[in-house]
Amino acid sequence: MECNVPILDLQREYDYMKEAIDARLATVLDHQKWILGPEVAEFEQSFSKFIGVEHTVGTSSGTEALLLALRACSIVDHGKQLFDSSDEVLTTAFSFTATADTILRAGATPVILDIEEESFNLDIEKVAAYLKRSAKVRAIIPVHLYGRSADLTALKQLCESKNIIIIEDAAQACGSEWHGKLCGSIGNMGAFSFFPSKNLGAFGDAGAVTCNEQKYAEILRMLIKHGGKDKYNVEHIGYNARLDTLQAAVLLAKLNFLHEFNTKRRNIAAFYTRALEGIADLACPAHLSPGHIFHQYTVRVKNGHRDKLKEHLQNAGIFSMVYYPVPLDHMLVFKGKAIVPWECEEAKKASEEVLSLPIEPLLTEEELELVVRSVRQYFE
Ligand SMILES: *Cc1c(COP(=O)(O)O)cnc(C)c1O
């Protein structure tokens, strides 16, 4: 199949940033400090400044960032290495598996709640209702899905005075804003992924935890390297979960392009929304605020048209994706291990309707017009 429009084109992005990235990589090749080399600390400082937090701890992936944040909560706030199954962590039914399976890995029980129809994010009313019924909730993991921030003001209000911490899953929200502050700086901790396809992507797996409180940063720094300040005299059950020096070098180069690329994504989103207006069975994202960084541009395709539209686009060489086809409460891994207090009907509906269109920031006008033409052609 000829590919006319990719959903993402990392080769194109590399060509665009090649000089900056190659220079950073060459420096690492020269100094050969592969583990926690100078680029790691430099990236952590730059990222803290960018997000607006006191601390960034680089990690080996976004998944490990979530796990480490949960472990830091269990150690710092509850005085135990791992949670136990009576400890509950609330999260959304509509996310990537890692959001909830890290809760299991940290020893706690995930409580899976439904989403709001419009934002695809955690339904705040469901959170409020569950908090009235359970006193065992230790943390909440809101996901800023597709790059749009969850309602952190409401969540913070609900958690206030309850000793419940907020761990933002900001894997899709690198640069997203909530009322003038960047995602990852508002909850107690933020977990970022630099998986290659994320808005800030490394050349392999990488991630980070952000926070303002020293007490978390200190434990996180120990946990990424086996659990001790001294590698040969260890206090906590730790991991080998450091951010790689080479990845930090790539991230330092690419961080300088992030704002420009996020702006390009927003412009593509605005173009699509304008050009796809008025199709009865297609709903564009309602929200185009400057705080949304469009990790994905995701439409809802109604009345059973989603898979047929996807195939129609595929035949025209246009790639689109379904994030996510199976809500977490339907996944085998969580069966009998998660609490699902109410049926997650909106998440189920979303899993049947969503389709993410090509959002590569370097797509040309011709390519974008081809996408729009093909979508319109399907519905005509
Ligand atoms: C990508 C992603 C993760 C996992 O990040 P990795 O770096 O792939 O481990 C977690 N949560 C969400 C919402 C993601 O999109």
The tally of CA atoms less than 13 A away on the side-chain side of residue 287 is 22
How many A from CA of 209 to the centre of ligand 1? 12
CA dihedral 247, 251, 254, 260 (to 10 degrees): 140
What's the pLDDT score for residue 222?
Answer: 98
Residue 61 CA to ligand 1 centre (angstroms): 8
Task: Supply the residue whose CA is at minimum distance from atom 2 of ligand 1.
Answer: 171
> Can you tell me which atom of ligand 1 is nearest the CA of 172?
15
Two tokens at 353?
């309707």
The DSSP letter of residue 145 is G
**Which is nearest to 297 in space by CA: 307, 281, 283, 279?**
283
Residue 41 to residue 321: CA distance in whole angstroms: 35
Ligand 1 atom closest to 61 (CA): 7
Q: Are 60 and 244 in contact (CB under 8 A)?
A: yes
Q: Is the dihedral of CA 155, 62, 104, 112 positive or negative?
A: positive
Closest CA to 357 of 303, 290, 291, 312: 312
């937090």: which residue's tokens?
53
The residues with which 191 forms a beta bridge, in sequence order, are 169, 209
CA-wise closest residue to 357 among 288, 263, 304, 284? 284
Query: What was the pLDDT predicted at 88?
Result: 98
**122 and 113 Cβ atoms separated by less than 8 Å:** yes
List residues near ligand 1 (CB under 6 A): 61-63, 95-96, 98-99, 143, 169, 171-172, 193, 195, 205, 207
Q: Over the chain (380 residues), what is each successive 10-residue block's mean pLDDT? A: 85 98 98 98 98 98 98 98 98 98 98 96 98 98 97 96 96 97 98 98 98 98 96 94 98 98 97 95 86 97 97 96 97 97 98 98 96 96
Atom of ligand 1 nearest to the CA of 99: 11
DSSP string, 202-262: -SS--EEEEES-HHHHHHHHHHTBTTSSBTTB--S---B-BPBHHHHHHHHHHHHHHHHHH
- How far is 176 from 298, CA to CA, in rounded Å? 16
The pLDDT of residue 1: 56
The best mutation among 59, 63, 198, 244 to test binding of ligand 1, ranked by most ligand atoms within 8 Å of the C-beta, falls on: 63
Residue 340 CA to ligand 1 centre (angstroms): 22
Mutate to test the pocket of ligand 1, among 143, 183, 195, 324 (most ligand atoms within 8 A of CB): 195
Q: How many Å lie between the centroid of ligand 1 and the Cα of residue 98? A: 6
Of 304, 299, 286, 302, which is closest to residue 358 (Cα–Cα)?
299
| Residue 235 CA to its chain's centroid (Å) | 30
Q: Can you tell me which atom of ligand 1 is nearest the CA of 195?
A: 7
User: 371 C-alpha to center of ligand 1: Å?
Assistant: 27
Residue 62 C-alpha to ligand 1 middle, in angstroms?
5
Report d(CA 174, CA 353) in Å as an integer: 25
* Probe residue for ligand 1, chosen from 193, 294, 354 as the CB with the greatest number of ligand atoms within 8 Å: 193
- 148 CA to centre of ligand 1 in angstroms: 15
User: What DSSP string describes 14-75?
Assistant: HHHHHHHHHHHHHHHHHH---BS-HHHHHHHHHHHHHHT-SEEEEES-HHHHHHHHHHHHHH
Q: Extract the tokens encoding 110.
A: 């995930």
Burial (CB count <10 Å: 0-12, 13-18, 19+), residue 260: exposed
Cα of 113 from ligand 1 centre, angstroms = 19
For residue 147, report the distance from its CA to the centre of ligand 1, in Å. Answer: 12
Q: Which of 172, 189, 194, 359 to mutate to test the pocket of ligand 1 (most atoms within 8 A of CB)?
A: 172
Task: Please provide residue 238's backbone torsions phi and psi, each rounded to the nearest 5 degrees.
Answer: -115, -170
- 10 Å Cβ neighbour count for 111? 22
Report the atom number in ligand 1 closest to the C-alpha of 193. Answer: 7
Query: Burial, 185: exposed, middle or buried (Cβ in 10 Å; 0-12, 13-18, 19+)?
Result: buried
Location of structure tokens 């300040």: 229
Judged by DSSP in three states, 345 sits in helix
pLDDT of residue 161: 86
